[in-house]
């Protein structure tokens, strides 16, 4: 029997347990949750490839590692010896360590532990290589236990330690970045809708990746940051002094909601048009002045059912085969109920739907749908 460790957001551990039991049923896997530390241990008579393939469509598993060794994390010498054995089995390959602490009894930071262990291994003649390692060894510290194993080259144990992209406008931008990477979204051009855009994290990402954006939100965006991407226009109601002032300060063109000709023209010439209205009859009328869209992105702070309703109301403005990326905000613990309500609501309009709990999602999931 081989042992595997599944990492996830502990808020979703019960849902993940049910998912794993179903997907690994064919292997008669024994699955045990360490509820205190939010990890799941799997014993299965199957290879790593078979296990990872079986759960490849998992909503909740963020990463899975085959466990090579389990040692007492309080004994540094034990960890160094175990790591030396793992690396030795791979011909003393150039190595990189990644540590994730989950309620660890060790007070040092994950980075400090990596440096300490790496230095000890180098003193024994092993060669660390942080840029082009031949093997990457994962070390999960849960309580006083260290679980060790080889990681895939693109696998991360901790997605947050290095989340310091100074170019990103806010935390939400990591979510859309992760969605593009996880779902393998290849499109990088066209005109797209960004629903629930404020303060502009998704808009910033989309503009930086080559799209022209029509953003819809009743709140202001961070125009001073967004103006670096090119020309902007703000469409607002007459008398909206806050929108007019913010647009003027950032050099954006401010357009009244009833100036149809200017709106239609700006939608063709501006990188960003912000319709400073909620999704309503008037904003839908304005959108109708524009050509059909290549994709839709929804990160609105609303219930899953309301977000799905936004999507349905905007379908007439989308091209056939276009993509929708939407966060499903889990406003209570009925996770499966929210997933069902969204997929049932929009399913007839979609040729495919995928849902994933991405690392930077908090109490939410991300959905990718392809429209018919």
325-360, pLDDT tens digit by residue? 999 999 988 899 999 999 999 989 999 999 999 988
Per-residue model confidence (pLDDT) at position 163: 62
Contact 311, 196 (CB under 8 A): no
> Band of the pLDDT at 36, cuts 50, 70, 90?
confident
List Cα–Cα distances, 59 to 19, 53, 86, 112, 339, in angstroms: 8, 13, 31, 32, 11
Contact 182, 176 (CB under 8 A): no
> Band of the pLDDT at 117, cuts 50, 70, 90?
very high
pLDDT tops 80 at residue 204: yes
Per-residue model confidence (pLDDT) at position 329: 96
Q: Kindly list the structural domains of the chain, giving each domain's residue range(s) and its CATH number in brackets, ordered by start.
A: 2-66 (3.30.70.100), 69-151 (3.30.2130.30), 172-371 (3.40.50.150)
Percent of the chain with pLDDT over 90: 82
Which stretches does DSSP call E strand in the chain? Answer: 2-7, 30-34, 39-44, 63-66, 69-72, 95-102, 135-142, 145-151, 191-195, 212-216, 232-236, 253-256, 272-275, 293-298, 318-329, 350-356, 364-371
The per-residue pLDDT for range 148-188, each reduced to its tens digit, is 999 998 888 887 766 666 677 788 899 999 999 999 999 98
Per-residue model confidence (pLDDT) at position 105: 82
The pTM of this model reads 0.89
Q: Averaged over 92-119, what is the pLDDT?
A: 92
> Band of the pLDDT at 126, cuts 50, 70, 90?
very high
Contact 324, 371 (CB under 8 A): yes
Per-residue model confidence (pLDDT) at position 236: 96
Q: Averaged over 74-93, what is the pLDDT?
A: 94
Per-residue model confidence (pLDDT) at position 166: 61
Per-residue model confidence (pLDDT) at position 159: 77
Q: Averaged over 289-295, what is the pLDDT?
A: 96
Per-residue model confidence (pLDDT) at position 37: 86
Query: Taking all residues of the chain, what is their mean pLDDT, rounded to a whole number?
Result: 93
Instruction: Retrieve residue 225's tokens.
Output: 């940051």
Cβ neighbors of 81 (< 8 A, separation 6 or more) are none
Percent of the chain with pLDDT over 70: 98
Per-residue model confidence (pLDDT) at position 314: 97
How many Cβ atoms sit within 10 Å of the Cβ of residue 358?
Answer: 21
pLDDT tops 90 at residue 9: no
């Amino acid at each position: 029997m081989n042992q595997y460790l599944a990492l996830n957001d502990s808020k979703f551990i019960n849902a993940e347990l049910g998912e794993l039991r179903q997907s690994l049923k064919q292997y008669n896997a024994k699955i045990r949750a360490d509820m205190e530390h939010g990890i799941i241990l799997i014993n299965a008579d199957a290879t790593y490839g078979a296990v990872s393939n079986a759960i490849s469509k998992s909503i909740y598993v963020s990463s899975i590692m085959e466990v090579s060794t389990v040692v007492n994390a309080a004994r540094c010498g034990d960890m160094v010896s175990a790591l030396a054995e793992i690396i030795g089995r791979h011909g003393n390959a150039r190595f990189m360590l990644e540590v994730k602490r989950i309620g660890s009894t060790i007070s040092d930071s994950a980075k400090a532990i990596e440096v300490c262990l790496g230095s000890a291994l180098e003193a024994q003649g092993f060669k660390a290589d942080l840029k082009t390692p031949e093997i990457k060894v994962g070390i999960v510290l849960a309580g006083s236990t260290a679980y060790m194993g080889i990681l895939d080259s693109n696998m991360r144990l901790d997605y947050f330690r290095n989340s310091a992209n100074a170019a990103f406008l806010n935390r939400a931008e990591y979510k859309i970045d992760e969605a593009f990477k996880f779902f393998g979204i290849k499109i990088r051009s066209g005109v797209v809708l960004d629903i629930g855009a404020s303060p502009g994290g998704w808009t910033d990402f989309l503009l930086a990746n080559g799209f022209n954006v029509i953003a819809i939100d009743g709140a202001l965006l961070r125009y001073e940051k967004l103006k670096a991407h090119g020309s902007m226009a703000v469409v607002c109601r007459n008398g909206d002094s806050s929108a007019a002032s913010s647009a003027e300060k950032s050099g954006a063109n401010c357009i009244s909601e009833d100036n149809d000709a200017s709106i239609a023209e700006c939608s063709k010439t501006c990188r960003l048009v912000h319709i400073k209205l909620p999704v309503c009859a008037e904003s839908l009328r304005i959108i109708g002045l524009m050509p059909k869209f290549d994709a839709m992105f929804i990160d609105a702070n609303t219930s899953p059912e309301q977000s799905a309703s936004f999507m349905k109301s905007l379908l007439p403005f989308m091209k056939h085969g276009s993509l929708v990326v939407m966060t499903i905000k889990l406003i209570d613990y009925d996770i499966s109920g929210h997933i069902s309500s969204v997929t049932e609501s929009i399913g007839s309009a979609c040729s495919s739907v995928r849902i994933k709990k991405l690392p930077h999602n908090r109490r939410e999931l991300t959905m990718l749908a392809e429209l018919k």
